[in-house]
């Protein structure tokens, strides 16, 4: 049994947003343009939230890369009237674009505000469409979308492993964000494998989860800033 999860080391994250662009490049996320962006329609499956603490001159800033937390008990799932979003047995919070009718209820019920709506159809001025990733469906207007943990990469890796007649290795599957991360702050893997890096990080004393108190069982672990303690951390 596999349960995909992610660990993000906030002590390594410098907020460079390479992951954000990598996500766009991998997942055919549409450009909305300045006007739409000003209307709050910009789409970033992954964003770096920054929070100020204190006032000038002693200000601190916290960065939190926020993406779909692929909750074990996802509030977005039961409210979808057409099963457009549901839970795969690998713990992914899957989004089926062509089932979606666009009630946007899932987005309202997501405490992490990581779901996005296609308010318009996507423009790809020629030859920009040549960059589109053939493994990822382009979304029509009127449907929700969100981070998929790069499910296409998971599929590809699994296929390859199958071809070579072996199990998936830890760290073999890398979402676009994790792969691009200059500081290697993002670790992805199988939580059910106790020896996987992500599993070990999730047991670290620095590990927290976002809005855990809501009982959503997020699959993304955040490692707090500051010195790591030796226990368990790879």
Partner 1 sequence: MNRVRLQALFDDAPLARRAVARLVEAGVPPAAIELRSATPQPSLPGAGGRSWIPLAALVGGCLGALAGVSIASLTALDRPLVTGGMPIVAPFPVGIIAYEATALGAILATVARAVYEAGLRPRRTPVGPLDAQLAAGGVLVEVVTADPALGRSCLGDARRLALVPEERPGS
Partner 2 sequence: MNPEDERLLLAPVERGSRGLRLGLVASALAAGVLCACWGYQIAHDLGVAGINRPVFWGVYITNFVFWIGISHAGTLISAILRLTGAEWRRPVTRCAEAITVFALAVGGLFPLIHLGRPWLFYWLLPLPNARGLWPNFRSPLLWDVTAIGTYFLGSSLYLFLPAIPDLAALRDRATGWRRRVYTWCALGWRGTPRQWHALENGIRVMAVLILPVAVSVHTIVSWDFAMSLQPMWHSTIFGPYFVAGAIYSGIAILVAVMAALRRGLGLGRYISETVFDNLGLLFLTMALVWAYFTFAEHLTVWYGNEPAEMAVFWERVSGRYAPAFWTMVVLNFAVPMLVLPFRRGRRPGPASLVAVGVLLGMWLERFLIIIPSLANPRLAYTVGRYVPSGVEWGITFGAFGLFVFLYHLFLRCVPAVSLWEMRAGAAAESDTSLAPEPAREGVR
Partner 3 sequence: MRRRRFLQNSAAAAAAAMLHACARDEVAFIEQAVARSPHGPGESVWRGSVCQQCPAGCGVRVRLVDGDAKKLEGHPAHPVNRGGLCALGQAAVQELYHPDRLRGPWRLSRGQPSGAEPLDWEVALEELAQRLARAARSSPQGVWIGCGSVSWPAQYLWRRLAAALGLPPPVRLRSVEWEVEREAARRLFGLEDWPYFDLERADLVLSFGAPYLERWRSPVHYARALAEQRQEPRSRRGRSIHVEARLSATAAAVDRWIPVRPGGEGWLARAIARELLALGRASERAAAHYRRWFPGPDPPPESLATRCGVPQEAIAELARELAESERPLVLAGGPMAAQRHGLFHVAAALALNVLLGNLGREGGVLRPRRFDLERNLPPAPPLATLAAGLQRLRGQAPQAIVICDADPVHMLPPASGVEQALHGASFVAVMAQFLDDTALLADLCLPLHAPLERFDIVEPEAALHTAAIGVGAPLVEPLGATRHPGDIALALARALEVGEALAWPSVGALVEQVLQDLHRRTAPGGTGDFWSFYEDVLDRGGLWEERPALDGLEAAAPREPIPEPKLDRDASREPSLLLAFETHVRTAEGRGLHLPWIQQLPDLLSTVMWDSWIEMARADARRIGVRTGDRVRVSVEGQAAFEAFVVESPAAAPGVLALPLGGGQRDYGRWARERGVNPLRWLGAGEVEGVGLPAWGPVRARVEAAGPGRAALFGRGLRAPEDRPLRR
> Rule CB under 8 A: which residues touch partner 3?
9, 11-18, 20-22, 24-26, 31-34, 37-39, 42, 44, 47-57, 59, 61-63, 125-134, 176, 179-185, 226-228
Of 15, 31, 87, 109, the residue at the interface with partner 2 (CB under 8 A) is: 109
**What contacts 219, CB < 8 A, 6 or more positions away?**
3, 4, 5, 6, 69, 70, 71, 72, 91, 191
Of the two residues 22 and 67, which places its CB atom closer to partner 2 in the complex?
Answer: 67
Of the two residues 64 and 94, which places its CB atom closer to partner 1 in the complex?
Answer: 94
Question: Which of partner 3, partner 1, partner 2, none does residue 181 bind (CB under 5 to 8 Å by kind)?
Answer: partner 3
Query: Count of residues binding partner 1 (CB under 8 A)?
Result: 14
Q: Which of residues 27-86 bind partner 1 (CB under 8 A)?
A: 72-80, 83, 85-86
Question: Taking phi first (over 0 means left), then psi (-120 to 50 degrees means alpha), and beta for anything else, what does residue 40 get?
Answer: left
Any contact of residue 210 with partner 2 (CB under 8 A)?
A: yes
Starting at the earlier edge strand, list the strands of the sheet with 4-9: 186-190, 4-9, 220-223, 207-208
Measured between alpha carbons, how far is 166 from 42 in angstroms, rounded to an integer? 41
E strand spans, the chain: 4-9, 47-53, 60-66, 85-87, 93-95, 116-117, 144-145, 186-190, 207-208, 220-223
Query: Nearest approach, Cβ of 128 to partner 2 (angstroms)?
Result: 20
Collapsing DSSP to helix, strand or coil, 207 comes out as strand
Query: Nearest approach, Cβ of 93 to partner 2 (angstroms)?
Result: 15
Query: Nearest approach, Cβ of 58 to partner 3 (angstroms)?
Result: 9
Q: Which of residues 118-137 bind partner 2 (CB under 8 A)?
A: 118-121
Any contact of residue 47 with partner 2 (CB under 8 A)?
A: yes
Is the CB of residue 149 less than 8 Å from the CB of residue 2? Answer: no
Residues at the contact surface with partner 1, assessed by CB under 8 A: 72-80, 83, 85-87, 217
């Amino acid at each position: 049994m596999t349960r995909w999860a992610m660990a993000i080391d906030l002590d390594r994250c410098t907020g460079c947003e390479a992951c954000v662009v990598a996500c766009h490049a991998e997942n055919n996320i549409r450009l909305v343009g300045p006007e739409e962006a000003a209307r709050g329609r910009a789409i970033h499956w992954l964003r770096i939230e920054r929070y100020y603490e204190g006032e000038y001159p002693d200000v601190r800033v916290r960065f939190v890369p926020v993406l779909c937390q692929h909750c074990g008990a996802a509030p977005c799932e039961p409210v979808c009237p057409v099963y457009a979003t549901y839970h795969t047995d690998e713990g992914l919070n899957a989004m089926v674009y062509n089932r979606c009718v666009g009630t946007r209820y899932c987005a309202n019920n997501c405490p992490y505000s990581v779901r996005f709506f296609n308010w318009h159809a996507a423009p790809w001025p020629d030859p920009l469409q040549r960059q589109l990733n053939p493994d990822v469906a382009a979304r029509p207007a009127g449907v929700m979308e969100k981070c998929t943990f790069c499910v296409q990469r998971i599929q590809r890796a699994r296929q390859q492993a199958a071809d070579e007649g072996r199990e998936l290795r830890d760290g073999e599957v890398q979402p676009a964000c994790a792969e691009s991360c200059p500081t290697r702050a993002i670790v992805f893997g199988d939580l059910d494998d106790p020896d996987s890096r992500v599993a070990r990080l999730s047991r670290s004393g620095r590990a927290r989860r976002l809005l855990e108190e809501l009982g959503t069982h997020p699959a993304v672990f955040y490692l707090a800033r500051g010195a790591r303690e030796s226990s368990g951390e790879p």
